Structure 1
Amino acid sequence: MAHKAFIRPLLTALAASLLALNVQAAPLVVGYQTGVDPSKVPQADGAYEKAIGEKIDWRRFNSGPEVVTALASGDVQIGNLGSSPLAAAASRKLPIVAFIVSAQINSAEALVVRNGSGINNPQELVGKTIATPFVSTSHYSLLAALKQWGLEGKVKVVNLQPLQIAAAWKRGDIDGAFVWSPALGEIRKTGKVLTDAAEVGRWGAPTFEVWVARKDYAEKHPEVVAKFAKVTLDSFADYAANKAKWTADSEQVKKIAKLTGSNAEDVPDLLAGSEYADAQTQRSATLLSGGTVDAVAKTAAFLKEQGKVETVLSDYSPYVSDKYIQ
């Protein structure tokens, strides 16, 4: 009995030690989407892992709201999402912080109408079926465009993820879609662009993509978040300096195409469809030191007006930080 009494606590202690070791060894989980941007190159190359010095479990998601759900559950520590899902999540006081603006969206998201749909101008959208992933940046842009055209409540807007949009388009189930790549590249081949995020932005509803981290993770591992931001910024700098070389047959574009499921021929145009701010611009009043907070607040107010969020916060600054940009 004495022998068993000694062994039992020893085994318990050993099990506890192994459990602690497993917890410590758990990899960083990063949620990414299929949007085309320069940071997909270091992702494909393993540069993030090399810079951070640990394994990363990359998980692919269809849209920002899916990333938000994973962040909320704790399944993901760092995630990529758009300004609309960010505004919705922050309005629900989800403990996340945006630490880098990964893309200022222009033509990389667009409203495309199908050839043969009979739509040649915005007013001909009345009664038509337009698809978009709900509470995404594309959804926000679509709602803003319909408001600009005086078509609120006159168009059937349906909730489909990008892959579903591509399939529904081929079947002829939808008349148009506001979406991003790779679906955008596919539907543009048999459709025409009616408007895009750049034009909607000029109307007063700009959209952008961000990398966010769970606040508890960022507070415990600020160096990891900072290194993640630096690798991202280095990819932006490489693209800015060598844009002309990122052609359809370049290694960079091939890597992006493989990772996102896009056609390599579409990637250069899709890359050019967004702006990628350098470190100085990231930390400026235009973005993380003021402008991003204002944009999130305006987005939240619009989403509330559209009935997509219940409340709007008086201050969104706790959900945006420039301190991780070196």
Structure 2
Amino acid sequence: MNPKRLFSLLLVVSLWAFALDEIQAQTKKTVVRLNYSGSIYATTSVVGVEKGFFDQAGLIVNASPESSGQVALQALIGGSTDFAVGANVRPIQALARDLPIKVIALSTWGFAGYVLVPVKDTTTQKIEDLKGKTLAVQVGSGTHTVWLRYLRHKGIPESDFKIKNIETEQIPAAFEAGGIDGSIAWDPYATLITEKGLGRAILTPKEIAEPINVTYPFFVMTTEETIKKKPEMVQKFVNAWARTLDYIHKNKAEVAEVMQAFFAREGTKLSKETVKKLLNGTNYDHVKVTMADIDDTMESAKIQFEQKKLKKLPDLKQHVDNSFAEKAEKAMKATKAKR
């Protein structure tokens, strides 16, 4: 045979074998479904996928952003996803209905909600100035519950305001339409409102959260059945999650580029500097759920229980399984020690 033809044949065979090995390697990976709230709180989910941390753990993750953590939780309860990410009140809402949910890791913490008024309103300076006016808020959300806690701290009943239940991603449009006097909205939608010149903030996340000691954790949830039947898969997932958090914590500039592209895909155009600002308002420094996270969640749960939005008040501490996060932390420390 002609040497050149032989070389070409060997090259084709080698490439085919390499491709076959890649296909076989991929087919050995476990397919995992993840649903998460598509806001700044989506960062861990998005970065974990795009930076390959799940892939390196032997997982193929089909990740879907949702309009809220409630939708993500519904997917988990309905069996159409394996993991869900949502605000602190979401697991409480499921547990109050006796649904077998477990919190297995932290996604992020840090409150990102604002009280906003239309930019044409030049007189409103404090929350008391909005009494009797129409405020848009996503009722039942974690941000809404923190707002209720803040009102209680100030000694103001929510009935002093006219509440209009609007999904947060629709609040910028409500500002444009002019049918509201203000809103309680989280990022990136709050920042989008101010950047477009539609509104201005009269209360920042820090001004709302600090007086009432809000940490506002976002949790990673799964079902008891998943833990029982697929503990190895859960461990791989949390291992990747821990590595993702560590990467975000140390690489905010690079993460800002990833999240800027994510928001653009979701129809929200933000500058890189704005995304950096959003990231600096949330924290990614631990994967284990702490007592501070649990205590803050229970304070919000008490509000919802008193308002009869919960049938009962479950003890979140009894439904947190930190074993996977603890193993993930040990694995990361061992890897770093070898370097």
TM-score for the superposition, normalised by structure 2: 0.77
What is the rounded CA distance, in whole Å, between the counterparts of 2:265 and 2:230 in structure 1? Answer: 27
- Equivalent in the alignment of 2:89: 84
1:115-152 deviation line (CA, Å, top 9, x unaligned): 12342211111112222222211111221222223331
> SS at 1:119's partner residue?
coil
Preserved CA contact (<8 Å) 1:132 1:179: yes
Contact 1:113–1:176 (CA<8 Å) still a contact in 2?
yes
Aligned residues: 290
Is contact 1:71–1:214 with CA below 8 Å preserved after alignment? yes
Could you say which residue in structure 1 is the equivalent of 2:74? 69
- State the identity %: 22
CA distance in 2, matches of 1:93, 1:148: 31
| Counterpart among 257, 264, 271 of residue 271 in structure 2 | 264
Distance verdict in 2 for CA 1:45–1:246, change over 3 Å: closer
The counterpart of 1:203, out of the listed 203, 211, 214, is 211
1:218–1:225 contact (8 Å) kept in structure 2 = yes
In our comparison, the structure showing a higher alpha carbon Rg is 2
Does the 8 A contact of 1:87 with 1:299 survive in 2? Answer: no
User: How far, CA to CA, are the matches of 1:203 and 1:184 in structure 2?
Assistant: 21
From 176, 182, 189, the equivalent of 1:183 is: 189
When you count helix as a share of all residues, which structure comes out higher?
Answer: 2
Distance 2:259 2:47 in 1: 8
Name the aligned partner's letter for residue 156 of structure 2. Answer: L
Greater CA drift, 265-274 or 294-303: 294-303
Q: In structure 1, what residue type is equivalent to 2:231?
A: P
TM-score of the two chains, using structure 1 as the length reference: 0.80
Q: Name the amino acid aligned to 1:274.
A: T
Gaps of 5+ in 2: 1-27, 329-339
Say if 1:30 and 1:77, in contact at 8 Å, map to a contact too. yes
Deviations 1:149-186 (A, max 9, x none): 33311011222112221211111112222222331221
Could you report, residue by residue, the CA deviation over 1:78-103 in whole angstroms, capped at 9, with x for unpaired residues? Answer: 00100122222222222111111211
Give the superposed CA RMSD.
Answer: 2.5
Letter in 1 for 2:311: E
Q: Is the 8 A contact 1:44 1:255 kept in 2?
A: no
**In 2, distance between residues paired with 1:77 and 1:145?**
34
How many Å separate the matches in 2 of 1:198 and 1:69?
30
Tell me, yes or no, if the aligned pair for 1:28 and 1:77 is still in contact at 8 Å: yes
Separation (CA, whole Å) in 1 of partners of 2:114 and 2:210: 14
Aligned to 2:33: 29
Which blocks of at least 5 consecutive residues in structure 1 are unaligned? 1-23
